[in-house]
Copies of this chain bind each other. A is one copy, B any other.
Amino acid sequence: MTYCLALKLTEGLVCLSDTRTNAGVDNIAKYRKTFTWSVPGDRAIVMMTAGNLAVTQAVMSLLQENIDHPESGIETLFTAPSMFRVAEIVGDAMRVVQNRYGPGLSAMGESAVSSIILAGQRAGGKGRLFHVYSAGNFIEATEDTPYFQIGEHKYGKPILDRVITPETPLETGITAALLSMDSTLRSNLSVGMPLDLSVIKASEIGIVHERRIEENDANFLHLSDSWSAALRSAFADMTGIRV
Contact = CB atoms under 8 A, between A and B. Distances in A.
Interface of A: 154-155, 157-159, 161-163, 171-172, 174-176, 178-179, 183, 186-187, 197, 213, 217, 219-220, 222-223, 226-228, 230-235, 237-239, 241-243
Given A223-B241, A226-B241, A238-B226, A187 B158 contact: yes
A197 B243 CA distance: 10
Given A157-B187, A187-B154, A175 B243 contact: yes
Given A158-B187, A161-B186, A219-B241, 10 more contacts: A154-B154, A155-B157, A163-B232, A175-B241, A178-B243, A219-B243, A226-B238, A226-B241, A230-B234, A234-B234
A126 to B, nearest CB: 24
Number of chain copies forming the complex: 2
A186 B159 CA distance: 11
Contacts of A163: 232, 235
A229 to B, nearest CB: 9
B155 A228 contact: no
A176 B241 CA distance: 11
A216 to B, nearest CB: 13
18 contacts: A155-B158, A161-B186, A162-B235, A163-B235, A171-B239, A172-B239, A174-B243, A175-B235, A175-B238, A197-B243, A213-B243, A217-B243, A219-B242, A220-B243, A223-B241, A223-B243, A226-B237, A231-B231
Q: Which of A161, A163, A175, A241 counts the most chain B CB atoms within 10 A?
A: A241
